Structure 1
Amino acid sequence: MSNLAAVILAAGKGTRMKSERAKVLHAIAGQALLFYPLQVARAAGCGQVSFVVGHQGDEVVEALSDQQVDCVWQHEQLGTGHALLCAAEKFSGFSGDLLLLCGDVPLLTTESVQRLLDLHRREEAAVTVLTARLANPHGYGRIVRDGENVRRIVEEKDASPAERAICEINTGTYVFDADFVFSILPGLGKENVQGEYYLTDVVAAAAAAGRKARAVCLLDPNEALGINDRVQLAEASRLMRQRINQRLMLGGVTLVDPETTYVDQQVEIGSDSLLHPGVTLTGKTRIGQHCVIESGVQVDSSNIADHVHLKSGSVLEGALVGENCNIGPMAHLRPGTELLGHNKIGNFVETKKARLGENSQASHLTYIGDAEVGRNVNFGCGTITCNYDGANKHKTIVEDDVFVGSDTQFIAPVRIGRNSLIAAGSTITKDVPADSLALSRTPQKVIEGWRIKHPLQKKK
């Protein structure tokens, strides 16, 4: 059993967000804020993780339902010390190091937490706090030191002018000796401006008990950025994108303009792929090697194989794209689209729940929905699978080597046999056998001289 556990504070209301949603459920880079400290806790080796929830706690618990974590309630917002005390029962019998993280601090890295843990263990401290040095420390609790020992942490509202001049601030991240902190918490007072139980008072309690209190200062103070309003949310998003884009470029991906390239946390991109400005990749998207993604492309939760070219303005959602495909410009691949490879989906083509075999293509102005398409099929311009009758969806099956002329409508359910030719302008309502020609057109009628007898009259 691990001798390291974590508590993540996620009970705050977040009034300044001016939102109906709990603050920790707001997202940056495609993930809710609360998932970032959870990832750090797990990467640090925490065997047990508990979230303290409060405001809109049911929604927070639901978001964490598949994460194998404990959730405890803080029904009254009585401060950070009270929040940790609410979790005490979950750690009955636990003896080891307790890592405390904030659910609204998404930029903290595993490397910084590991430095915190290393010092805490090396010094055998009762409490070790993660700090940062800021040119403008306004709003933060200040670290009052005596050399290496931290004497106390004073909140700004309770600080003297001299203490407010201190630039080293409390980030809200700690490691505690679990036995010590849970023995101290019930005795904390709330004699302060806020009238709350401050977790920071544990530091002074350690000093009073003759125990060590230590601090580790962040190398990058941006990691301490907490989210309290939409401005800070946007700033954290910008910094996270920088971090993601740097990782991609160091991994062999070319970003023409990283400042205008938006890639979510869970996206994977293979080496030697090229992203033009204005690309947005979201969800659990995977891009293969040697791909080219042009400006304005949006890809969500899709799997793109190697050597794929996504042209400007194309949108892909829940699609599987095989190797050596060319998509767009301005194509729309909707959920359930599967391209098996060497396909062309051209400008203003839309697909949905459509599976296309190798070398099949639709070059322009076509809709293919609820369809099973074989190999080497060509859809002419303006082809439509009419899959919806107002109540139910129906399937179109097109076998290998079929050529579909322009302006064809397939009235599903219908099956087109292999090696068939569908004449342009046809409306196909019945199955077509293999090796057949199918056409459906009304006879063309020509009345010679009609325009002479019926000239156009311009309205005055």
Structure 2
Amino acid sequence: MSNNAVILAGGQGKRMKTNKPKALCNVIGEPMLEWVLTACENAGLDEICVVKGYESAQIDEFLAARASKAEITSVMQAERLGTGHAVMQAKEFLEANSDGNTLVLCGDAPFIDADTINGALELHKSRDCGVTVVTSRVEDPSGYGRIIRNENGISGIVEHKDCNPMQLAITEVNSGCYWFKTADLLEVLFEIKPENAQGEYYLTDCIELIISKGKTADAYISGNPNVALGANDRRGLLMLNDIARSEIIGKWLDEGIEFCCTDGVSIGNSVKIGQGTVIHSGVILRGNTSIGENCVIGNNCIIENTQVGNGVELNNVQAYESVIEDDVKIGPYVQLRPNSHIKKGAKIGDFVEIKNSTIGEYTAVAHLTYIGDSDVGANVNFGCGVVTVNYNGDKKFRTVIEDNAFIGCNTNLVAPVRIGRGAYTAAGSTITRDVPADALAIERTKAEIKEGYAARKLKNRTEKFEKQVRNSDNNEG
């Protein structure tokens, strides 16, 4: 018996005023659909079907790009005719899993969590329910459907606009998330009718039909107070971001992470942080990022899809899809572009850019340097202003620098080139061929001085400047 999910992600979200599906709008740097998929995967669901609609190609692209734990398929909802109609599009998926249970949830309600999913499933199975509604108790239930309970579970859901005064006082609300016994859902799904002002098929009508057939319906109250929250416009989306940001920082505070100041701090839902680490203001951690123990993540760092070891110090660093090993010190004003690997004990100073390169153990790249498409050994020293010239306008080539080499200030290493173990390049050299181990490479053109050339070359510029000075003096007089 399988437990699977159908995620409704076909909405346009017109009030978002965006050309992408509503479910792909971001909360803390990740699409709301990613939050929902992650919760389903963390709950151990076997298969997931995403119902797409508006700008469906963007949903396809998103699903193709992510690494999934569960088997994920998608179906198209060509017309947006309500939640019930959306689930109808997953008919074949439901029929293939008719012996199990199906979770139906919204791709734009990001705060569903694995504990809620599994807690509701446990109740669903223990009571042999045809349907179990995930609910939440809220202080202000305005706009939400109210849960009507009876001695056997629930008797239905009443939309806010249809509530009588007694029902308006109910604070238990529908989250829009449901566990169905899949066979029971299929039995009633195509019986629902669009008998409402909107002319839409409401999934909530399935609950009344299941109850009318004598099957049990119940509701699971989530301990997550935000489980029902979604967003219909940019103000609502900002509110979700604020809530997520606060909740995640609170979680890490409870884990003993020190925050010097939370101004501008944003930590993604999938980020991991080790004990003893200190986070300063303006730090953004997102994607599949992990920070080790006893690190200092200094002001204004942006770390995305990057693995950071223990005892690392970062200051004004931007790092993307890279690896930083233990005891590395980087910054300020450093960019690590994708596929950079900084090995143990290395030091990267100010105004350095590294791309698609490995920097060996205890190597020092002090400042004002670009290293691209390079393999650098251990204990290498880079002087100021070094550039690995990796691109000739047509193709890119790699530079290899072996252990213990010393690269002098303002050296250009024109790839493909290899600097041997312990070799030394003289300051100001442009190295165009391999340098043997322990050798000194000096590659400079012979100095040529042409007397009077500059005076002739710069005559017009100098005269223009002198004229400006004279005019300025006259104006002041």
Q: TM-score, normalised by structure 1?
A: 0.89
Q: Distance in 2 between matches of 1:428 and 1:87?
A: 62
Deviation (angstroms), 1:159: 4.1
Deviation (angstroms), 1:417: 2.8
Deviation (angstroms), 1:227: 2.6
Q: Distance in 1 between matches of 2:413 and 2:63?
A: 45
Give the secondary structure class of the aligned counterpart of 1:372.
strand
Listed as ranges, the matches of 1:182-197 within 5 Å are 182-197=186-201
Give the secondary structure class of the aligned counterpart of 2:303.
strand
User: Aligned match of 1:77 in 77, 80, 100?
Assistant: 80
Q: Contact 2:147–2:157 (CA<8 Å) still a contact in 1?
A: yes
What is the identity, as a one-letter code, of the residue corresponding to 2:353? E
Deviation (angstroms), 1:224: 0.9
Deviation (angstroms), 1:346: 0.5
What is the identity, as a one-letter code, of the residue corresponding to 2:196? N
Q: Contact 2:260–2:280 (CA<8 Å) still a contact in 1?
A: yes
Q: Contact 1:299–1:315 (CA<8 Å) still a contact in 2?
A: yes
Deviation (angstroms), 1:388: 2.3
Paired position in structure 2 for 1:429: 432
What is the identity, as a one-letter code, of the residue corresponding to 1:193? A
Q: Contact 2:116–2:224 (CA<8 Å) still a contact in 1?
A: no
Deviation (angstroms), 1:324: 1.8
Q: Contact 2:262–2:282 (CA<8 Å) still a contact in 1?
A: no
Deviation (angstroms), 1:182: 1.8
Listed as ranges, the matches of 1:115-154 within 5 Å are 115-147=119-151, 149-154=153-158
Q: Contact 1:226–1:232 (CA<8 Å) still a contact in 2?
A: yes
* Ranges in structure 1 where 5+ consecutive residues have no aligned partner: none
Q: Does 1:382 align with 2:385?
A: yes
Give the secondary structure class of the aligned counterpart of 1:233.
helix
Give the secondary structure class of the aligned counterpart of 2:350.
strand
* Ranges in structure 2 where 5+ consecutive residues have no aligned partner: 456-461, 471-477
Q: Contact 1:421–1:436 (CA<8 Å) still a contact in 2?
A: yes
- CA spacing shift, 1:419–1:63, aligned 2, 3 Å: closer
Q: Contact 1:52–1:87 (CA<8 Å) still a contact in 2?
A: yes
Q: Contact 1:408–1:428 (CA<8 Å) still a contact in 2?
A: yes
Q: Contact 2:373–2:390 (CA<8 Å) still a contact in 1?
A: yes
- CA spacing shift, 1:138–1:70, aligned 2, 3 Å: same
Q: Contact 1:36–1:106 (CA<8 Å) still a contact in 2?
A: yes
Question: What do the CA deviations read for 1:399-437 (whole angstroms, capped 9, x no partner)?
Answer: 332222222222333333333332223333333333333
What is the identity, as a one-letter code, of the residue corresponding to 2:133? V
Give the secondary structure class of the aligned counterpart of 2:373.
strand
Once structures 1 and 2 are overlaid, which stretch shifts more, 432-441 or 229-238? 432-441
Give the secondary structure class of the aligned counterpart of 2:147.
strand
Listed as ranges, the matches of 1:145-164 within 5 Å are 145-147=149-151, 149-160=153-164, 163-164=167-168
Paired position in structure 2 for 1:46: 45
Q: Distance in 2 between matches of 1:123 and 1:401?
A: 70
Deviation (angstroms), 1:307: 1.7
Deviation (angstroms), 1:80: 1.6
Q: TM-score, normalised by structure 2?
A: 0.86
Deviation (angstroms), 1:34: 1.8
Give the secondary structure class of the aligned counterpart of 1:144.
strand
- CA spacing shift, 1:37–1:334, aligned 2, 3 Å: closer
Q: Distance in 2 between matches of 1:362 and 1:62?
A: 38
Q: Distance in 2 between matches of 1:58 and 1:394?
A: 35
What is the identity, as a one-letter code, of the residue corresponding to 1:343? A
Question: What do the CA deviations read for 1:37-80 (whole angstroms, capped 9, x no partner)?
Answer: 33333344433322222222233234234642232232222222
Paired position in structure 2 for 1:319: 322
Listed as ranges, the matches of 1:92-131 within 5 Å are 92=95, 94-131=98-135
Question: What do the CA deviations read for 1:173-195 (whole angstroms, capped 9, x no partner)?
Answer: 11223222221222222222322
Listed as ranges, the matches of 1:20-419 within 5 Å are 20-65=19-64, 67=68, 68-92=71-95, 94-147=98-151, 149-160=153-164, 163-258=167-262, 260-311=264-315, 313-419=316-422
Q: RMSD across aligned C-alpha pairs, in angstroms?
A: 2.8
Deviation (angstroms), 1:295: 0.5
What is the identity, as a one-letter code, of the residue corresponding to 2:403? D
Deviation (angstroms), 1:22: 0.7
Q: Contact 2:137–2:225 (CA<8 Å) still a contact in 1?
A: yes
Tell me the number of residue pairs that the alignment of Structure 1 and Structure 2 aligns: 452
Once structures 1 and 2 are overlaid, which stretch shifts more, 97-106 or 161-170? 161-170
Question: What do the CA deviations read for 1:133-158 (whole angstroms, capped 9, x no partner)?
Answer: 33332222222334554222222344
Deviation (angstroms), 1:164: 4.1
Q: Contact 1:425–1:441 (CA<8 Å) still a contact in 2?
A: no
Deviation (angstroms), 1:198: 1.6
Once structures 1 and 2 are overlaid, which stretch shifts more, 353-362 or 323-332? 353-362
Q: Distance in 2 between matches of 1:60 and 1:446?
A: 65
Deviation (angstroms), 1:170: 1.5
User: Aligned match of 2:441 in 438, 443, 456?
Assistant: 438
Percent of matched pairs sharing the same residue: 39
Deviation (angstroms), 1:300: 1.9
Give the secondary structure class of the aligned counterpart of 1:223.
coil
Q: Contact 1:10–1:53 (CA<8 Å) still a contact in 2?
A: yes
Q: Distance in 2 between matches of 1:102 and 1:390?
A: 48
Give the secondary structure class of the aligned counterpart of 1:151.
strand
Deviation (angstroms), 1:18: 1.3
Question: What do the CA deviations read for 1:103-127 (whole angstroms, capped 9, x no partner)?
Answer: 1111012222233223333333322
Q: Distance in 2 between matches of 1:51 and 1:212?
A: 27
Once structures 1 and 2 are overlaid, which stretch shifts more, 232-241 or 157-166? 157-166
Q: Contact 1:317–1:334 (CA<8 Å) still a contact in 2?
A: yes
Q: Distance in 2 between matches of 1:323 and 1:342?
A: 7
